[in-house]
Structure 1
Amino acid sequence: MTPLSRDRALEDFTGLVLLPEVNQSPDPQAVYDRLRKQWGEIAPVQLEPGIPAWLVMGYREIIQVARNDRLFSRSAANWRYFDTLQNPESTLAALMTPRDHAYYANGDEHRRLRAPLDDGLDALDEHRISRETQAICRELIATFADHGEADLVAEYAVLVPMLSVARWFGIGTDEGYRLTEAVLWAFSAGPQSQKGVEIIIEILTNLMQSHKDDPADDMTTSFLRHDDLRNDIEVAFSIILVIMAGYQATIAWIAQTLRLILTDPRFGSRLRGGRLGLDDALDEVLWRQSPAANMVGGYALADTEIAGQRIRKGDAVFLCYAAANTDPRVHSDDPWLAIGNRAHLSFGTGPHVCPAQRPSRIIARIGVETVLTRLHDLKLAVPADEITNLHSLWAVSPESLPVRFSGSA
C-alpha cells in the first residue's frame, strides 16, 4: 500500500484515476481492488480532470462518514472547488450544486426538509404503484414488441423509473416523456444541461399551480400542504429530489439485472426451472454491481482522518457503495452467501439513507419481470463482452442492452 504523507494535500497527487472511467470499466471491482492495494480503504481520485476528491471504499469507513454530518457537510458551498460547478461544461453541476432540499442539508435543517419526503412516501399506495408501473411497462414494450429486437436501455429502462415516479406527483404520460428528456439533458454537460433545468422548472411550476387550484391524492398536494415546506421553492426542489435522486440508480438496477439474467446461467436457468429467481438477481446486483456506485459523502468542515489518511478542510469525500459492498472484511467472494442478505449499502446509510427503498424495488422488480414474461425467447443480440458501461460519475450501468426475441405475450 502506498503510504500517504500527512503533509500532502489532494492536489499533490498525480496520475489519479478518473472516477467516471472506473464506472465505465468492464470490471469496476478489479479497479477497486487495485486502488485498495495502492492506497487502502480511502483513495485519492479525480472527479473530472484536475478536480480531486477522496473515494471511501471501506464498508465501515463509509458508515463513519455517512453518520457524521457535523464533520461532513452535504453542501458544496464548503468545497474548495465550488467554483467548478459554475462551469457549464462540467458534468458535476447537476448533482452537486446546492439546492433547497434535504439532500444538501444537515442537522435540524435536514430533518425538517426530510420529513415531507418520509411522510409522502409512507402514504403511497404500493398496490397502485404496482398497477401503474405494470401498465407503463406493458405500454413501452408494446412500442417495440412487433420488431423482434430492441435496446432495453434506451427504449425501456431509461423510461420506466421516470414515468412511474412522475405518477406519484400526478404527472401524466406525455409530460412524463418530456420530463424524462429534460432530466437526461440536465445530467449532461454543455448548454443542454441548462435547457433541461429550465424545462423541469416549467413543468413543476405548472404542476404546483394546477394542484393549488385542484388538489389531488398525490405527493404534489402532500408537499404543498406540508408544514415543514415553507414556500414553493422548497416544494419544487423536494419534488425534484424525489424524481432525480434515484433516477439513474433505478435505471441501472433494471438494466444490470436484465444483463445478469441474460448472461449468467444461474439466473437464466430460472426461466426454465432453475434455483435462483428474480429477487435473488435483484439482490445480487445490489451487492456485486451496485447501481448507485458513488455518492457525495460530504465536504470536510475541518481537518480529520479516515482509515489513517489525512482529510483536509474543504476536501470532497465520495462514498463508493459499489466497492464497500464487496469489502473483503465484511463480505465473502461466495455469491451464494448474498442470497437473501440485504445488509448492502446500495441505498446508503445514516441520516441520508434512501427513503424510497420499497417503491424503488417495486419499480425495478416489475420492470424486469414484465420484460421476462412478455418477450419470448429473449436473448442478447451481441456477445456479452461487447456490452459497455456508461461513462458516469454516479452509476454503473450498461450503455445499451440490445436484445432479440421471437414474439410477445
Structure 2
Amino acid sequence: MPVPELDQLAASGAPPLDATTADPDGAFEKLWRGYGPVAPVELAPGVHAWLVMGYDELRTITRDEHLFSRDGRRWRLFQDGTVPPDSPLGPMMFFRDNVIGHDGEEHRRLRRPLQEAIAGVDHRRLRRTVERLCTGLIAQVAPRGTADLVADYAAAVPLLTIGELIGLDAAQSAELLAAMHLLFSSGEQAQEGNARFEALLGGLLAAKSAAPGPDVTSALLRHPDLRSDAEVLQTLVVLVSAGNHTLISWIAQALRLTLTDPRFASRVRGGRLSVDDALDEVLARQPPMINMPARYALADVELGGRRVARGDALILGLAAASRDTRAHTPGWWTHGNRASLAWSAGPHACPARDPARTIARTAVGAAGHLLRDMRVTEDPDAIGNEPSPWTRIPRRLPVAFTPASIDPVLV
C-alpha cells in the first residue's frame, strides 16, 4: 500500500499548528510559500493533518459532504490508535453525537431545533439584555479609571448573555466559562474541562425538565426533532460552545482594533466608519476561529495540488484564507465587504450570525459610549493571544479612561 502524501510530508518535518506563536499570520504566509493552499501541519507530537488555507479549497470541503465528512470517527489516526481516546485534541476533534458530528439527513434533523431556537430570539429584547449586562459590567470598573477589557468585559458578556437565554444564573455562567477555557485550550486539562462543561449543562437540563421556563433550554426539551435528553444536551453544547469563545474573540478584537489601529480609529471618530465596520474588518482580518476542526476525507481525492488520502483530517484555515491572493486583492476587506469565510460555509455554516452580531455590536458600542477617553496602557504588540490553535483571543486589553460613576439601572 502506498504511503499517504500527508505521511510523506510529515516525515520530512511538518510544522506545528502553533498555539503560542506571536506571529500567526507570518506562520500562515510561510506555509503558503512552502506548500501552497493545502499544507501539512502537526496538531500534537506524531499527529498530522492538512491545513486548508485556499479560499476555493475551503468552499469545496465545507460544501461537499459526500467527500468530506464532519464525523470524527472517520479520522484515520483515531481509527489506528495514533490518537488515543484521552488525547487533548479529543474535545475539539473527536466525534460528538450532535449536529456538528453528523452529516446528511441526520445533520439536518439535529440542526432544525437549533435554527428554530435561534430564529425565535427577539433581537430588540436581546439588545436590551446585552445593554443591561454590559452596563452592569462597566459600572463595576468605571469608578477606578482602569480595566482589562478582556477579563473584565469581553470574556463575560457572551456567556452571561447566552446563560440568560438558556436559563443559567450568573454564577453558573461563570463556572461554565472556566470549563470552556480548558476545553478550547487543547491542553492537558482539555478533557477535564470538557467533562465539567457537559456536567454543568446536564444539571441545567435536569432543572428545566423539572421546572420549564421561558428559555431556550425548555424550548429544546419540547422540540419533536430531539428524541432524548442526550440530544438536547448536545444541542446545548453546540449552542454554548460555538457562540461563546467566538464572541469573546470578536468583541475583544474589535475593541483592540478601534483602540490600537490609528488608521481605523481616526475614521471611527470622524464618523466615516461604524461599529459594524470594525466587526466586519475583524471577521476578514482576524476571524474569531482562526482554524476550525475538522473535515475527514471519505475517499482518496486531490485538493489544492495535494493527494488527500481517505481518513486524513483537514483543518479549516479561516484566517489564512483571508490572505488568499487568488480570491482576494490586498485590502479587500474595505467598508461594507462581508465576503469572509469566518462563519464557515455549506451545511455546517454557523446559523447564529444575526444574534451574534447583535451581541457583539451592542457590547463594542456600549464600551465606547460609557468609558470616555479610553486608551491602551500597554504596547499593543506585547499583548499577545491566549494559547489555542483554534481561537484568537487577546490575553488582555488594559485601558485607562476618565473615571465615572455609572448607575447600571438608569443607563
With normalisation by structure 1, the TM-score equals 0.92
Which of 17, 20, 28 is equivalent to 1:19? 17
Question: Paired residue for 2:70?
Answer: 74
Residues 35-50 of structure 1: pairs in structure 2 closer than 5 A: 35-50=31-46
The code of the aligned residue for 1:226 comes to H
- Could you tell me how far 1:324 is from its partner in structure 2? 1.3
- Residue 343 of structure 1 aligns to a residue in which SS? coil
The code of the aligned residue for 1:155 comes to D
Question: Paired residue for 2:183?
Answer: 186
1:235–1:8: structure 2 CA closer, same or farther, 3 Å change rule? Answer: closer
Task: Provide, for residues 342-392 of structure 1, a one-character-per-residue CA deviation record: whole Å limited to 9, x for no partner.
Answer: 111000000000011011111111121111111121111111211212221
Question: Paired residue for 1:309?
Answer: 306
Give the Cα separation in 1 of the matches to 2:379 and 2:363: 23
Indicate if the aligned counterparts of 1:280 and 1:340 stay in contact, CA closer than 8 A.
Answer: yes
Mean CA deviation greater in 319-328 or 202-211 = 202-211
- Could you tell me how far 1:191 is from its partner in structure 2? 6.8
Residues 196-215 of structure 1: pairs in structure 2 closer than 5 A: 196-215=193-212
Which of 98, 107, 111 is equivalent to 1:110? 107
Residues 397-408 of structure 1: pairs in structure 2 closer than 5 A: 397-408=393-404
Which of 48, 53, 57 is equivalent to 1:52? 48
Structure 1 gaps, min length 5: 1-5
Give the Cα separation in 2 of the matches to 1:124 and 1:306: 39
Is the counterpart of residue 379 in structure 1 residue 375 in structure 2? yes
Question: Paired residue for 1:236?
Answer: 233
Task: Provide, for residues 5-57 of structure 1, a one-character-per-residue CA deviation record: whole Å limited to 9, x for no partner.
Answer: x9653222233221134xx4444333222212211111111112321100111
Give the Cα separation in 2 of the matches to 1:193 and 1:54: 22
Give the Cα separation in 1 of the matches to 2:62 and 2:375: 40
Which of 114, 121, 136 is equivalent to 1:139? 136
Indicate if the aligned counterparts of 2:88 and 2:191 stay in contact, CA closer than 8 A.
Answer: no
Give the Cα separation in 1 of the matches to 2:184 and 2:315: 18
The code of the aligned residue for 2:401 comes to F
The code of the aligned residue for 2:335 comes to I
Give the Cα separation in 2 of the matches to 1:110 and 1:46: 29
Give the Cα separation in 1 of the matches to 2:4 and 2:202: 48
Task: Provide, for residues 295-320 of structure 1, a one-character-per-residue CA deviation record: whole Å limited to 9, x for no partner.
Answer: 12411121111022100111100111
Give the Cα separation in 1 of the matches to 2:288 and 2:115: 22
1:29–1:188: structure 2 CA closer, same or farther, 3 Å change rule? Answer: closer
Residues 3-18 of structure 1: pairs in structure 2 closer than 5 A: 8-13=4-9, 14-18=12-16
Indicate if the aligned counterparts of 1:161 and 1:250 stay in contact, CA closer than 8 A.
Answer: yes
1:291–1:187: structure 2 CA closer, same or farther, 3 Å change rule? Answer: closer
Indicate if the aligned counterparts of 1:66 and 1:297 stay in contact, CA closer than 8 A.
Answer: no
- Could you tell me how far 1:187 is from its partner in structure 2? 3.1
Give the Cα separation in 2 of the matches to 1:200 and 1:300: 29
- Could you tell me how far 1:185 is from its partner in structure 2? 3.0
Give the Cα separation in 1 of the matches to 2:82 and 2:217: 33
Indicate if the aligned counterparts of 1:126 and 1:359 stay in contact, CA closer than 8 A.
Answer: yes
Aligned positions, number: 400
- Residue 64 of structure 2 aligns to a residue in which SS? coil
Residues 272-291 of structure 1: pairs in structure 2 closer than 5 A: 272-291=269-288
Residues 251-266 of structure 1: pairs in structure 2 closer than 5 A: 251-266=248-263
Q: CA RMSD in A?
A: 2.0
The code of the aligned residue for 1:170 comes to G
- Residue 338 of structure 1 aligns to a residue in which SS? coil
Give the Cα separation in 1 of the matches to 2:268 and 2:114: 37
Question: Paired residue for 1:320?
Answer: 317
Question: Paired residue for 1:362?
Answer: 358
- Residue 407 of structure 1 aligns to a residue in which SS? coil
Give the Cα separation in 2 of the matches to 1:181 and 1:25: 23
Give the Cα separation in 1 of the matches to 2:134 and 2:229: 32
Indicate if the aligned counterparts of 1:72 and 1:297 stay in contact, CA closer than 8 A.
Answer: no
1:224–1:260: structure 2 CA closer, same or farther, 3 Å change rule? Answer: same
Mean CA deviation greater in 56-65 or 42-51 = 42-51
Identity between Structure 1 and Structure 2 (%): 42
Give the Cα separation in 1 of the matches to 2:13 and 2:387: 19
- Could you tell me how far 1:237 is from its partner in structure 2? 0.8
Give the Cα separation in 2 of the matches to 1:71 and 1:245: 24
1:368–1:174: structure 2 CA closer, same or farther, 3 Å change rule? Answer: same
